[in-house]
Amino acid sequence: MPKIKLAEKTVELIREICAQFNNQETELINVLHQVQHKLGYLPAEVQEVIAKELNASVAKVYGVVTFYSFFTMLPQGQHPISICMGTACYVRGAEKVLTEFKRQLGIEVGQTSADGKFSLSCLRCVGACGLAPVVLVGEKVYGRVSPQQVSKIIAEYQDGCASAQSA
Amino acid sequence: MEMINLTIDNKPIVVKKGTTILDAASSIGIDIPTLCHMKLHDMNIENKPGGCRVCVVEVKGRRNLAPACCTEATEGMEINSHSLRAVNARRTVVELILSDHPADCLVCAKSGNCDLQDLAQHLGIREIHYQGSQSHYREDTSPAIIREMDKCILCRRCEMMCNEVQTVGVLSTINRGFHSVVSPAFEMNLDHSTCTYCGQCVAVCPTGALTEVDHTGAVIRALSDPTKTVVVQTAPAVRAALGEEFGMEPGTLVTGKMAAALRRLGFDYVFDTDFAADLTIMEEGTELLGRLNKYLAGDKQVKLPILTSCCPAWVKFFEHQFPELKDIPSTARSPQQMFGAIAKTYFADKMNIKRDDLVVVSIMPCVAKKYESGRDEFAVNGNPDVDYALTTRELAHLINLGNIDFKSLPNEEFDNPLGESTGAGVIFGTTGGVIEAAVRTAYEVQTGKALKRLDFEELRGMEGLRKATIDFDGTLIHIGIAHGLGNARKLLEEIKAGHSEFHAIEIMSCPGGCIGGGGQPYHHGDVEILKKRQRAIYAEDKNKVLRKSHENPYILKLYEEFLGEPLSEKAHHLLHTQYFDRS
Ligand code: SF4
Ligand code: SF4
Ligand code: SF4
Ligand code: FES
């Protein structure tokens, strides 16, 4: 088992969040949500602290983290890109859009680009089916995205050098 | 108690409120097929995730089919357990499971003992009407257990055993949908986890997804190597269960046939772990009395209660979960390891055999013993005290390979000097047995008086946690007994909090003790089998002429010729061990 090597401050933060939920194992999902909200992701060491605080097994915590697609164990990029894979988006070409993002950023789903700027994930239906296919960058929503628009979207976040990153 | 009237397959029946349809049906001899469900009656162990839907039945007036294992019977229910609709649904479920299952039956370690195979047979499945992709997951091999998740049907029995019964918490279902598997945290391999290798997950897995590491091949090679002398030891619980593998009634003692079979397989000396169990009592009992007398003399520093240490899964459990208590258990090695150490020194010297030419094989009811025999501290220059630990099931396999008709074998005796044992050694095989054996010896050594009775009924039974007080001629000794690691945890928490009432505690990882070990013939959820094995163990004890470890003449000779006395320097070196913080 990897030894816990988190900063004392981080451990304190996690403990506080667990305490807010009375260290109840039944609140595991809420705790994970809060912790991810604060830390951005849920690495193994963090899950170990949560398990200890809630008196749950690490395997169980990991089970929940891997069950829900919105939990992530990897640090997110500065601009997390999420592609909706709900039915409506899927039939209108979300897969092709995803492939294009992967190609241009050179990363797979769940990974972060080497410069730490972008990370890529898939979502289940976000409820904006009228705009399918939908892409989110941070909080911003892009509708009716085509593979051709991908480079433009990426460029928006490239701090001034808009022409970079075209594979 | 409120009672409920209903009919199942037109048979009227009255059951207690709260009874499931499954239990109601089985009480009138109707066996509704199940797969994920498993219940160990009287042991408070039940898995009912309601996940597989193999047990569905038709309930009149209800639109959908009801899963019998997790639906309560209600007043006036009319149930048809084998309507066309129910049978079709059942078959569909099984076909769907099979469509994502490797068709490995012919070469699968579980073949002939697999609940899924049995079910497909029972339902007469001859064709799979569904085709889809098959999920694949890497195989995970540890020192004792192999995980082959391609064969997992996600019944979650193993999770229930590991989390609720053993409170080890190694296994959980991870990922989602098609990618779901049962796994340790972060998908690490079992040998990086806090797994104790108790094997209780293996004991309940309905398929070949969890099995023990097979060492039969290595043993056959050793047996056919003319330069090696191969000796074998058999644990107490094996003789009470091995017969089941050959169709004999559970609880049939096969001690004599087992010795005969081992001889026919070519082992040069057929010895008994029970001998080493007697030796364990000499060492552990002396340690217990040493600590107790210091305590009674007013020494408050002395560590009490003393905990037994024969169960390697239990040892690994406290090394991971309660490292701060690691100087409380007895330092005595387990009987398996004591045997190995004595065989490769005392016996090897006596017979003039070089250590490297002596192979020690043990037959164990246990999966964890495989792991234990591989621990570094139990080897000398890389040569282990015990070379191979086979399960009861593996021995049955060897006997079949040897073309031996087990049932018609004569009863034969163990060889000497390491084959002689007392009844005290035999009862190590059941929960309560180790501590009863210790009491028989400790009482007589402490009081200098002969025991008037040898059967300590107050220490026996099947409850998960038991306690008893034994009068040592005026001194009251408080004894605790736990089997199942969840029960052990409760006693450990008390010790940690500083308010344990006990002087001595026996702990066994497996429900029932070693008779219910992870390497025993599969019980398929039938607790009666464990009870029958337990009765067989006590019957064997009763049949013995000698029933106290300190009366075993070969043990006395061993001390005289070789060890000196219990806890001597040599005994310490060969028969005791130390524990590690693995947290
Ligand atoms: S062997 Fe025991 S501790 Fe290990 S996974 Fe199985 S049930 Fe859990
Ligand atoms: S490994 Fe075996 S016991 Fe565990 S969920 Fe899979 S099939 Fe069931
Ligand atoms: S109780 Fe017996 S069979 Fe079970 S792990 Fe312990 S020694 Fe092995
Ligand atoms: S046996 Fe009832 S749902 Fe699996």
Kindly report, residue by residue over B115-135, the tens digit of the pLDDT.
999 999 999 999 898 888 888
Q: Is position A73 within any domain?
A: no
A22 touches chain B (CB under 8 A): no
Dist. CA A26–CA A47, nearest whole Å = 15
Sequence-ordered list of residues with C-beta below 8 angstroms from that of B114, at least 6 positions apart, any chain: B105, B108, B206, B207, B208
The pLDDT-based confidence of B42 (bands split at 50, 70, 90) is confident
**A122 is an annotated ligand-binding site residue:** no
For A1-24, how does the pLDDT look when each residue is reduced to its tens digit (9 = 90+)? 455 578 899 999 999 999 999 999
CA–CA–CA angle B516, B430, B439 (5° rounding): 160
Amino acid at site B90: R
In a shared domain, residues A92 and A135: yes
- Rounded distance, CA B534 to CA B253, Å? 11
Taking the alpha carbons at both ends of chain B, their separation in whole angstroms is 48
The mean pLDDT value of chain B amounts to: 96
Give the domain-ending residue among B84, B107, B122: B122
Cα–Cα–Cα angle for B45, B47, B48, rounded to 5 degrees: 135
Q: Is residue A26 part of a domain?
A: yes
Q: Count CB atoms within 10 A of the CB of residue B452.
A: 5
B335 touches chain A (CB under 8 A): no
Contact between chains at B173 and A61 (C-beta distance less than 8 A)? no
Task: Check which CATH number belongs to the domain holding B61 and give it.
Answer: 3.10.20.740
**pLDDT for B403-418, tens place per residue?**
999 999 999 999 999 9
Environment class of residue A112 by beta-carbon count within 10 Å: exposed (0-12), middle (13-18) or buried (19+)? Answer: buried
The count of structural domains within chain B is 2
Annotated active-site residue B72? The verdict is no
**Domain holding B247: CATH number?**
3.40.50.1780
Same domain? B230 vs B116: no
DSSP secondary-structure letter at B480?
A: E
Regarding whether A159 and A108 lie in a shared domain, the answer is yes
Annotated active-site residue in B36, B155, B514, B540: B514
Query: Do A111 and A58 share a structural domain?
Result: no
For residue B417, the distance in angstroms to the closest alpha carbon of chain A comes to 44
pLDDT of res. A163: 44
Query: Measured between alpha carbons, how far is A86 from A127 in angstroms, rounded to an integer?
Result: 9
Q: Domain end: B122, B140, B162, which one?
A: B122
**CB contact at 8 A, B385 and B234:** no
With contact defined as beta carbons under 8 Å apart, do A59 and B171 qualify?
yes
Confidence of residue B472 (pLDDT cuts 50, 70, 90): very high
Residue-range definition of the domain harbouring residue B23: 3-122
Give the pLDDT of residue A162: 43
* DSSP at B583: -
In terms of phi and psi (left: phi > 0; alpha: psi -120 to 50; beta: otherwise), the region of B154 is left
pTM of the full predicted structure? 0.90
- What pLDDT band is residue A129 in, cutting at 50, 70 and 90? confident
Question: What's the CA gap between B240 and B322, in Å, rounded?
Answer: 33
Give the nearest ligand 4 atom to B22 CA: 2
Q: Which domain holds residue A26?
A: 8-67
Domain check: are A149 and A89 in the same one?
yes
Q: In this complex, is the C-beta atom of A66 within 8 Å of any C-beta atom belonging to chain B?
A: yes
Q: Which residues pair with B45 in a beta bridge?
A: B40
A148 and A123 both lie in a single domain:
yes
User: What's the gap in Å between B524 CA and the centre of ligand 4?
Assistant: 15
Judgement on whether residues B234 and B108 belong to the same structural domain of the protein: no
ipTM: 0.85
